[in-house]
Chain A
């Protein structure tokens, strides 16, 4: 990150950073998770969650707009006072690390189940963390460029998913509303969790070019894009699998692709996993980047390089410690999900409210 830290990323890059962070380890299981809670009405929950997130992003943007030259950690320090701000920043670093660990755990588990049953966990974890470390050790600009380039892989995913749509039976999502309103509302939780990662929009806001309004449009469009992608996946899998069947396949997207055979590629599910790994890596890299950013904010003298390596090592060691243990993973998963609400929604909104008691730095002029 040295040297070019001050160079800002363009709005297009900002767009891809957001979607690459959001689309990650969860897409394979998203339809199952929704179906688990809300049966065939899961897509309604997703729809509502999508709208809620748009509103939320507007609030986060409002917060960032008030302090256009500060990144999120600096805003916290400014609004919550220096020490309290540092404490919350540290909690954020912990949270980002935990998400990183969770990503590595889920990724490792999935690869083990689907592709490499005999490979030890630490090897898979090491390769993933190392690749991400390599990516993050450049400047933000380079990362953003990479993410933009990787977005081409989305096309492959979309093609695969729409190909399977040819065998879908629309009747499987009927009857609509069978789950009942309470279940649908409970399912929103699942939907919101799938969008977590939007916090990156707030953290990298100050490092993006453009006026506040332009950035808002970028953020909202990125969110809408991710939402459409998710909705397409959910609808295709919901209509491909029968209602009973859906309860049995934890990774419906892969399972769906497994039933096709092409002349050259016999197993397109493996093909899909390979592209999916790239999205896992980009998500993990963003969290690594944000953790390092937080750490350097707390310890001003710490070089970014060492902060990043430190975080990567922590993620690797903790993840390897948990390994394939499903009960540990589940426990950890619940905590991180709860943390998601606090750190992606609760705290930023609190900071927003407190910020009204502070003078907006926009009015102060460029202070930091």
Chain B
């Protein structure tokens, strides 16, 4: 009897694997998914599916790009499923691209299936493509890297050079649905001429749609620092001099070593004042004029850079106002620390009336190995 029971139990334990096994040989993993706007309110989904063929030694990798229009993302997935020999599985998606036109309407419905499905990869990156996502996924670079690696690497590099946030889909979700908080998505652009895909700044979002207003790549670093984010490297080039024999001499390039940002919200009656102090400790990485030991020169550079960046900070803030995109979470902070003021506000309208007082202080601390 005992032996009988043990036998049954053993078989049972082995059998349980059968219901939920998900074998790699039966599925095709897609690493990049793109969505575009199609006619009649439909969406157009494009996926790239790499397939590894060949046995030992000679391994050949082919990439298949498939598209289909459909009502919803999963509807499109079913349609694409009908075009390939195996079923395709998006649980390892690394990059999700959204075409500019589609991004201008609500993007949350596109992403719902990622948030809902337990096997999806929420660590994927989200980006907007100027033009269409299809174009980007169909893109063949001169090198033979996979498109997901290319775009994923591009975004990762943008994050580490403080041009993009690097927020994954999970982190964006909170910012998407929370009121008084908006976000910015990296913009990509296919450059046909030089045959590259390039990072083209940050697209400002309001609630869950793209406002069409963007922060250019040169200013995205400053925006990120103003938000309190810094990647591995934060490098900026700014003009500090006039009337030089050649224009190249007018510029200075520096790298932010560490920074400190303070954001203070002062509601005064109906008005919301935001004071921001941004202290940057920088290393000069390029300045052909040399003589960076003279305290006077350094003092002047500090002052000039501070002025230039303070002005630019105002400019960046005005761009976010233009897009009505509260990327600094001022609304949410207002709700958190001044709930009584928040209740009186209609943030969709009132963000534009926020007064922003930036103060950027630059301190040059290093100047490389020459003076």
* A residues apposed to B, CB below 8 Å: 113-120, 123, 126-127, 130, 167, 171-172, 174-175, 178, 241-245, 248, 255, 258-261, 266
Contact = CB atoms under 8 A, between A and B. Distances in A.
B341 to A, nearest CB: 11
B20 A171 contact: no
Given A115-B118, A175-B335, A244 B19 contact: no
Contacts of A167: 171
Given A242-B174, A245-B177, A258-B170, A113 B122 contact: no
A172 B171 CA distance: 13
Given A123-B16, A175-B337, A113 B174 contact: no
Nearest to A124: B16
A114 B175 CA distance: 24
A160 B249 CA distance: 51
Contact of A261 (B123, B178, B335): B123
A175 B333 CA distance: 9
B336 A174 contact: yes
A179 B21 CA distance: 45
Contacts of A114: 118
Contacts of B173: 245
Contacts of B63: none
Contacts of B123: 259-261
Contacts of A130: 9
Contacts of A244: 174, 177-179
Contacts of B16: 119, 123, 127
Contacts, number: 68
A120 B336 contact: no
Contacts of A178: 339
Contacts of B170: 255, 258-259
Contacts of A242: 174-175, 177-178, 181, 332
- Which one of A116, A117, A242, A266 has the highest number of Cβ atoms from chain B below 10 Å of its Cβ? A242
B168 interface: yes
Contact of A118 (B9, B20, B179): B20
Given A242-B332, A266-B121, 10 more contacts: A115-B20, A116-B19, A116-B20, A119-B16, A130-B9, A171-B329, A172-B332, A174-B337, A245-B173, A259-B123
B6 to A, nearest CB: 12
B335 A117 contact: no
B347 to A, nearest CB: 14
A171 B171 contact: no
Nearest to B168: A259
A171 B175 CA distance: 13
Contact of A171 (B12, B169, B332): B332
Q: Lowest 6 A-B CB distances belong to which pairs?
A: A259-B170, A174-B336, A242-B178, A242-B174, A175-B339, A118-B19
Contacts of B174: 241-242, 244-245
- Mostly helix, strand, loop or mixed at chain B's interface? helix
A120 B174 CA distance: 34
Nearest to B116: A248
Nearest to A130: B9
9 contacts: A116-B19, A118-B19, A118-B20, A171-B329, A171-B336, A174-B336, A244-B174, A244-B178, A245-B178
B9 A117 contact: no
Contact of A119 (B19, B169, B337): B19
Nearest to A173: B336
B115 to A, nearest CB: 8
A46 B5 CA distance: 46
Interface in B82-131: 115, 118, 121-123
Contacts of B12: 123, 126
A258 B179 CA distance: 24
A178 to B, nearest CB: 6
A199 to B, nearest CB: 32
A119 B177 CA distance: 34
Contacts of B337: 171, 174-175
A259 B177 CA distance: 17
A227 to B, nearest CB: 26
A264 to B, nearest CB: 14
B171 A261 contact: no
Contacts of A117: 20
B333 A171 contact: yes
A152 B177 CA distance: 38
Nearest to A262: B123
Nearest to B338: A175
B339 A258 contact: no
Nearest to A40: B336
Nearest to B332: A171
Interface in B156-182: 168-171, 173-175, 177-179, 181
Contacts of B13: 127
Contacts of A248: 115, 177
A130 B367 CA distance: 69
A154 to B, nearest CB: 24
B333 A261 contact: no
Interface centre among A117, A172, A178, A258 (most CB of B within 10 A): A258
